[in-house]
Amino acid sequence: MTKAVNMDVQQMGKVAVLMGGRSAEREVSLMSGTGVLAALRSQGVDAHPFDPAERDLVELKREGFARCFITLHGRFGEDGTVQGALELLGIPYTGPGVMASAVAMDKLMTKRIWIAEGLPTPAWRHVHSAAETRAAFDALGTPMIVKPVREGSTIGLTKVLSADQCEAAYALAAQQDPMVMCEQFIAGDEVTCPVLGAGAQAQALPVIRIVAPGGNYDYEHKYFADDTQYLVPCGLPEGEEPTIQALVLKAFRSLDCRGWARADVMIDAQTRQPYLLEINTSPGMTSHSLVPMSARATGLSYEDLCLRVLASAALDNAMPTT
């Protein structure tokens, strides 16, 4: 059971909630940031909104911010760029560090590391054209997923059912990122599992099983629709939840993540083999988001979750004070 947080919020100092940003996920980021900001303020934290799309990050130092809660999603916020700037400014921040954030945002690099570590992930191809997408379809079979390598929230993603869809699928993904990948589709249960902490102390929270209408867990069903089911307890066959939690912890540690993250997993309906899809290093914190839902199942409120994540703020390379 995850315990509630007991801390002196005054020790947190002046906190910037980074939200908005310049990625395709700006709208979701603003929703996440608004929720986190209200939660921190309700607990007495001196928290303030800060949108890097509208203000220079140097102002964080000038205005005396002691730490940052990152609720930016996607590029320029979840990909190591903001993390690197905060390292230079010497301001501790929530979530994984520079390298872990950059690698996790790049689905190809993530897969390469997971394969090297012996962790299961669906077969894939890195493609550079519609013709290569068609060749990948012949190799990976149907259905096939085509998606941008460095984008999230299913933006630019297509589930390809026939070869004549390959050209449009590639074009849609390439609009979001010049790097495009094709991935084998795993038919079965879709689940997600958050992690809190770092290293040996990292803890996997309860697994959530996602049941979307028609199996279509797209942008609309993730953030706005009310007909998607989120099952906690997940109701998987006996023994599967701890297996997935252990797999997700290995995935988290293999990328050297810290603070928090959430891994998405597909379970093959026939073999019951779980496959890692990706890991999100700045998870959503909206009313539809999954980390708060999983945490709540352990008795950890949204407010306490925000405090716990904030307390984990750190630097990769903290310089000694002089």
Q: What are residue 68's DSSP bridge partners?
A: 16, 93
197 domain residue, yes or no: yes
Instruction: CATH number of the domain at 295, please.
Output: 3.30.470.20
4 domain residue, yes or no: no
Is 1's pLDDT higher than 50?
no
Over residues 255-278, the pLDDT tens digits come to 999 999 999 999 999 999 999 999
Looking at the structure, do residues 16 and 164 belong to the same domain, yes or no? Answer: no
1 domain residue, yes or no: no
Ramachandran angles phi, psi of 85, nearest 5°: -65, -40
90 domain residue, yes or no: yes
DSSP state of 162: S
Q: 29, 101, 153, 312: which one is catalytic? A: 153
Lowest mean pLDDT among 72-76, 131-135, 138-142, 235-239: 72-76
> Which of residues 227 and 234 earns the better pLDDT score?
234
pLDDT at residue 320, as a whole number: 56
Nearest CA to 313 among 20, 13, 60? 13
Is 287's pLDDT higher than 90?
no
Looking at the structure, do residues 232 and 279 belong to the same domain, yes or no? Answer: yes
Element at 136 (helix H, strand E) = helix 130-140
Q: 151, 241, 264, 304: which one is catalytic? A: 264
Q: 29, 151, 284, 302: which one is catalytic? A: 284
Crossing angle for the helix pair 130-140 and 166-176, to the nearest 10 degrees? 120
**218 has catalytic annotation:** no
Over residues 105-127, the pLDDT tens digits come to 999 999 999 999 999 999 999 99
pTM for the predicted model, two decimal places: 0.91
Looking at the structure, do residues 222 and 180 belong to the same domain, yes or no? Answer: no
Tell me whether the omega of the peptide bond preceding residue 52 falls within 30 degrees of 0, making it cis: no
Angle at 280 between CA 315 and CA 251, to 5 degrees: 85
Q: Looking at residues 222-240, what average pLDDT do you find?
A: 84
Looking at the structure, do residues 207 and 270 belong to the same domain, yes or no? Answer: yes
Is 321's pLDDT higher than 60?
no
Q: 20, 21, 23, 25: which one is catalytic? A: 25
Confidence bin at 7 (pLDDT 50/70/90): confident
Q: 106, 278, 303, 304: which one is catalytic? A: 278
Supply the range of the domain harboring residue 139. 124-184
Q: 29, 32, 254, 280: which one is catalytic? A: 280
pLDDT at residue 223, as a whole number: 52
> Which of residues 231 and 216 earns the better pLDDT score?
231
Is 4's pLDDT higher than 60?
no
Looking at the structure, do residues 192 and 285 belong to the same domain, yes or no? Answer: yes
**153 has catalytic annotation:** yes
**264 has catalytic annotation:** yes
Confidence bin at 154 (pLDDT 50/70/90): confident
Q: What are residue 266's DSSP bridge partners?
A: 190, 275
Instruction: CATH number of the domain at 37, please.
Output: 3.40.50.20
**Count of residues for the chain?**
322
298 domain residue, yes or no: yes
**56 has catalytic annotation:** no
**223 has catalytic annotation:** yes
Confidence bin at 243 (pLDDT 50/70/90): very high
pLDDT at residue 90, as a whole number: 97
**6 has catalytic annotation:** no
